[in-house]
Chains A and B, each alone.
Chain A
């Protein structure tokens, strides 16, 4: 793995206004992503985990500027993405692609596999029909489909095959970074393993970097080099995979890991978090996790803990450390 930083995100924020009242005045904000910083190196997978509503998908979409960031900087190979015009952005999107969770709804039902993948090529400047057809066939084969499948519509594929098309479409333009937003959570276990293996193979072959968003920590563990855990719009812990799974520091990470059912360990002691995730509309003061934390200190509801390095790149945002 190269040590070159491919993508750097600095204090990224994405707030959604909430309007209400007679003149649709802004009456509040949903702080979906609230000051997130991290980087991804070339050829590396950063796993991003957290529960629903913690802002992981918004973060992924904001990096591609599918959502406009409210604040903060996104730097891709030295270029500040946040300041690019639409036209400049298009060139860049060739290098950063996205795979969505639900291949059923992310593929156009009226386009064949050939058209779906071909469209990506066409947009990014491959105008020659024959060349394009050749490339599509190549890609289909690479993602484990047959080139005779090219003329089928999405409904003629199984969900695993559809996800392969989704991956193929992202791959078509030779990206360097792929944002994979829950790419396997809609799939059955036997198919999930096939797709994960495919993604790992493609990474080796093309030196891809992934931002791998998932809520399933056992999947994250399988594919990631480093792992970031998000809670209510903030990263609470970020470390090398080995570190985070062997000795999780943040109480939330601890609870998450203990909550995973495992067939190989029967009945383990589990940290049950009380209640549910607070509303991002009105997050708790101080540390956002203090309302559910089992190791809460007096300071936790007053001061927000910064994300700090406690050695060897293990970042944690918690007053305990």
Chain B
């Protein structure tokens, strides 16, 4: 990887609830390169979204708080920035698309107004210029009659159209980094295909880094360059997409791939991962995955697995590959 635009080190975001401390993100490290697409993958509650919200300082506090770590955006530690400065970066240089476009858009303003507002705020243009920009953005994301749609309210649009409008809005200030949080989860298959098509086009036309959050491995293969698999608020494995899909090392990643129903073939039984995702209030000791792991070693119960480098850029957090694991 050449240039790193976002560097996250030992990020820990905890939620202090009445029932205890939820370690939603517990020591996550990763780098996002310039014009790279990194996919964050994992099951619900694994900390994908909290990681994204932490980057933008959007964690609700209380109950949440970033208790440690560093988030460097171009050598600027976002966690040490005053709120004013974050506000100027958020939306302008680092933009985010939310899962549910319905609730992320303001229902009482037209689509056009919402894009215009952002352009005016961050770029300081006149209303007329902002409007022109808004319309060209709506066109870029494949909205057929952008002049008309700009005057529509969110409820007048279909789910797919709303998601496009969200994407247009996030692109309005030509962000350096776009964080897309499950942008295709709430839509139908055919619409999903359309949205993925837009993302692929954006990837080719814009020099933008993309942090793509999804729970669907199948989507990753279409868009991602690298992938980061999370489990229980920690990183399980990170490598390039093709390496991960063809040569998964972490037992969790391997089973996750195996238990996907496959459209091209039918098996008698699906592979499963026994048990459920652990509670993050009272997590199991050692490796969080050990109660569900079929390859668990005695050491897995005792010690948190260290990062092990398999090849350049392929890191896995698993005792199976560490020296201690071999000896034990």
User: Which residues on the A side are within 8 Å of B158 (C-beta)?
Assistant: 276-277
The reply to whether A272 and B193 form a contact with Cβ atoms under 8 Å apart is: yes
The reply to whether A158 and B277 form a contact with Cβ atoms under 8 Å apart is: yes
The reply to whether A190 and B190 form a contact with Cβ atoms under 8 Å apart is: no
The reply to whether A190 and B264 form a contact with Cβ atoms under 8 Å apart is: no
Greatest chain A CB density within 10 A among B144, B222, B272 is at B272
User: Which residues on the A side are within 8 Å of B323 (C-beta)?
Assistant: none
The reply to whether A197 and B266 form a contact with Cβ atoms under 8 Å apart is: no
A11 at interface by CB-CB < 8 Å:
no
The reply to whether A260 and B276 form a contact with Cβ atoms under 8 Å apart is: no
The reply to whether B257 and A190 form a contact with Cβ atoms under 8 Å apart is: no
Docked pose: A51 CA to B187 CA in angstroms: 9
The residue in chain A whose Cβ has the minimal distance to the Cβ of B259 is A193
The residue in chain B whose Cβ has the minimal distance to the Cβ of A158 is B276
User: Which residues on the B side are within 8 Å of A192 (C-beta)?
Assistant: 259, 261
A267 at interface by CB-CB < 8 Å:
yes
**Closest Cβ–Cβ distance, residue B199 to chain A (whole Å):** 12
**Closest Cβ–Cβ distance, residue A242 to chain B (whole Å):** 9
The residue in chain B whose Cβ has the minimal distance to the Cβ of A161 is B276
Known pairs A221-B261, A261-B221 / 11 extra A-B pairs, C-beta < 8 Å: A52-B159, A189-B43, A190-B255, A190-B272, A192-B261, A193-B261, A196-B270, A219-B261, A259-B190, A259-B192, A263-B257
The reply to whether A196 and B261 form a contact with Cβ atoms under 8 Å apart is: yes
Docked pose: A288 CA to B276 CA in angstroms: 43
B322 at interface by CB-CB < 8 Å:
no
B262 at interface by CB-CB < 8 Å:
yes
Docked pose: A179 CA to B215 CA in angstroms: 27
User: Which residues on the A side are within 8 Å of B189 (C-beta)?
Assistant: 51, 215-217, 256, 259-260
User: Which residues on the A side are within 8 Å of B242 (C-beta)?
Assistant: 266
The residue in chain B whose Cβ has the minimal distance to the Cβ of A219 is B261
The reply to whether B276 and A266 form a contact with Cβ atoms under 8 Å apart is: no
The reply to whether B217 and A193 form a contact with Cβ atoms under 8 Å apart is: no
B151 at interface by CB-CB < 8 Å:
no
The reply to whether B276 and A265 form a contact with Cβ atoms under 8 Å apart is: no
Partner among B43, B190, B218 whose Cβ is within 8 Å of the Cβ of A262: B218
The reply to whether A276 and B263 form a contact with Cβ atoms under 8 Å apart is: no
The residue in chain B whose Cβ has the minimal distance to the Cβ of A265 is B264
**Closest Cβ–Cβ distance, residue A309 to chain B (whole Å):** 24
The reply to whether A255 and B264 form a contact with Cβ atoms under 8 Å apart is: no
The 8 A CB mask of A236-247 against B (1 = contact, 0 = none) is 000001000100
Interface size in chain A (residues, C-beta < 8 A):
43
Partner among A188, A197, A259 whose Cβ is within 8 Å of the Cβ of B270: A197
User: Which residues on the B side are within 8 Å of A6 (C-beta)?
Assistant: none
The reply to whether B276 and A272 form a contact with Cβ atoms under 8 Å apart is: no
User: Which residues on the B side are within 8 Å of A257 (C-beta)?
Assistant: 263
The reply to whether A191 and B276 form a contact with Cβ atoms under 8 Å apart is: yes
CB proximity to B under 8 Å, residues A192-246: 192-194, 196-197, 200, 215-219, 221-222, 241, 245
The residue in chain B whose Cβ has the minimal distance to the Cβ of A252 is B190
User: Which residues on the B side are within 8 Å of A272 (C-beta)?
Assistant: 190, 193-194, 197
The reply to whether B193 and A190 form a contact with Cβ atoms under 8 Å apart is: no
The reply to whether B197 and A190 form a contact with Cβ atoms under 8 Å apart is: no
The residue in chain B whose Cβ has the minimal distance to the Cβ of A245 is B263
CB proximity to B under 8 Å, residues A55-79: none
User: Which residues on the B side are within 8 Å of A190 (C-beta)?
Assistant: 43, 255-256, 259, 272-273
B71 at interface by CB-CB < 8 Å:
no
Q: Given A200-B269, A263-B218, A188 and B44 touching (CB < 8 A)?
A: yes
The reply to whether A263 and B220 form a contact with Cβ atoms under 8 Å apart is: yes
The 4 tightest CB contacts between A and B, nearest first, are: A259-B193, A193-B259, A190-B273, A193-B270
User: Which residues on the B side are within 8 Å of A275 (C-beta)?
Assistant: 144
